[in-house]
Structure 1
């Protein structure tokens, strides 16, 4: 009965107070409450990696473990918001899982790491120059030869050989037919529709500035510093608005659970 009473008390406590308590005695019941309160973050970040060749359940499990790592390492006294601290940890563990576990073919680690740098360079150069970068642009940015870039890009097909969303490339009249259209399957997209509706409804509660920050941070993977430069505001302002958006998202998510 005492444990039940304690659990009830923990549920009523402020999150920051829970972190302070957990840093002192590492109580598992407190940790469980902290995990439950931040699973929305796991769900949000894991869904960014849907349709990349791995079951969502596997990604969600990796992200959940990363959340526990973040809770164990978090020091509230340093003044950082937990969501800002945990996000890089969760995303990093997911990317590490993809890098180490998901390659279809055996590709040298050097090529895997170069492939990751190429992907990051593409995103950076596209955002900077507002156009798709050429192989030479990527090679110059990374500091390697064009041959190395082409080798890594070709090897990356071992990571995701052929997308089911790609064209079927046949002689049919409808050129918009993809490979997945030709595979019979049980309809299982209703949850994705619900999630999309939830996000769209949530964005309606944000102002124009908050919508941009929300899209740039969680859909376009832009850093706070890049967003700050684009908006001509301080990075601290972007960080403050991001925390505000995350708080709104958490409340909206809990309300719709």
Structure 2
């Protein structure tokens, strides 16, 4: 059978085996042959797309990505290497689908209304944080979005299954200010847990100080008194206060090393 595409009509492609078409496509780059190969192997894209359906992205979107992966595979396939096209195409298509999920996808299926509300909540957090100069409460977010607290909490809980975002991602704002990086906002709520943990740590060390050390610590770091003022109150020299302060710091460092 002739292998020159110039003499082959599209309606004659059905007479060729896949290997013959791949060889001819490699030699000529004929777009009609490429289209025939795509049509013959769409079933691979369909099968793989169904495996990733019902995971938060519409099947049609997954199928389009799978078809794109199929085209990449057809263009890269080298019949001379001896392996079947399906064996070569499958990992190529799966790779494109997984990349799409990393960029766009929710890791489990979440209703579209929840996805949309989650996006609005993220933008609302930024806007309200600027406006209120603090992390907004659930009630404040709900009022801003004309939603209920239950709806906001539901969306915030669902957003935990969303593919992790880069800390370099930005959010648009309603004002004239520049977009804000996600990394600038991440961990805002955690500061309260850190504060509690630090307070417990301080309390445990202060209990081990004697009364004079406790007074120096309190006056120096909470009341912001000078060493001279504290020395006068205690009836000692400034040098003594300085020595007491250094001893307190040494005890703090010792305790800190125990938890590092």
TM-score range, shorter chain: 0.3 to 0.5
Q: TM-score, normalised by structure 2?
A: 0.40
Structure index of larger Rg = 2
